[in-house]
Structure 1
Amino acid sequence: MADEANRAAFVELQGRMIETTGKIKQLQTQMRSKEGEKKRAYLTLEELRQLPDNTNTYKTVGKVFILEPKSLLLNEQEQKLNDSESAIASMQTSKEYLEKQLAEVENNIKELLQQDPGLARQILSMTVQ
């Protein structure tokens, strides 16, 4: 009876571990995307700042270019940069939380396997085959 309970606990912990690992990978992908957006906004800002104030600047909307004042484009790029930075910070906090959860699940699995060496042997025999 205890053997079945340990096996069920292991399966549950394994599922949580897989789910948490997937969430971490998804967050890392989102963070890379936001880093790219941040870099594009920064580079665009740097280029816009070098232009004289009376320069015609255009904003793309789909396939159309619309004449916009330089100050408006600067504000938009600064906003994109700030939004990306705050999103990255938020994602980093979430990632750290998920990593702590993953470490906790790993420790729970280790404890379970130490308590029930028979379960550990069963798992090893299944993975070796």
Structure 2
Amino acid sequence: MPETTPPQPTTQITAQHRELLDQVLDKWSLQVLDRLCESPSRFNELRRAIPVITQKSLTATLRRLERNGMVDRVVVNTRPLAVEYRISALGKTLQDLIDALLGWTTATMPEVERARERFDEHA
């Protein structure tokens, strides 16, 4: 008789899971995290790196990521004082996932575009 493997327990997506995923995978967070994985940045450096983001959206994104422990806000003792954003130890655990998501998006975009075209032709 063939040996069967026991079923793996499934993770239930709770409201807490959904909230965290929404905040980490939202429109701007992936880009901010990707940039901060490369190097710490000041606010205006992030704005230049992501030129389509508004100041308000960047501020909200950084606060949300800081609240969730993904980003550290560090006051740099210069004249005048400056603030630098750095990926936290917890945020670094996302780097491989971010790279995988961005790689998957790049690799599958032609197929997605073809699917969209087929759908739009029949809609």
- TM-score, length basis structure 2: 0.30
- TM-score, length basis structure 1: 0.29
Greater relative contact order structure (CA < 8 Å, 6+ sep): 1
Greater C-alpha radius of gyration: 1
In proportion to residue count, which structure has more helix?
1
